[in-house]
Amino acid sequence: MAMVRFYRGQLLLGVTEIEPETPLLDLAEAIGIDIPRNCTSGNCGTCMCRIKSGSVSMPEILPPGIDEDLIEDGAVLTCIGIPEGDIDIDLIPPL
């Protein structure tokens, strides 16, 4: 089973198995990791984090909370990002 590891910088906060079609935000909450959020639909960008390794599926038409430049810098919106295999996420956004 694929795993997602949540970090804050170099500090490992928790690890959980990936559940199909489950956003990163829900996976984090299930193991007690709080990621700031507001809209939970990709519009505000509050839940933005950084991908350290791995990949995340995002909607083909990006919501207002993220753009291609941020994605190129490793950004992901955890409220709508679906992990694709093993992934490491840094809760510190790429801003």
How does pLDDT run across 27-53, given as a tens digit for each residue?
Answer: 999 999 999 999 999 999 999 999 999
Is the pTM higher than 0.85? The answer reads: yes
Per-chain mean pLDDT for the chain: 95
- List of domains in the chain: 3-90 (3.10.20.30)
* Statement: residue 94 has pLDDT above 90: no
**2 HSE (CA, 13 A, CB side):** 19
What span, in angstroms and rounded, lies between the C-alpha atoms of 91 and 50?
A: 6
Q: Where are the alpha helices (DSSP H) in the chain?
A: 24-30, 68-72
**86 HSE (CA, 13 A, CB side):** 2
pLDDT digits (tens, 9 = 90+) for 70-82: 999 999 999 999 9
Per-residue model confidence (pLDDT) at position 95: 67
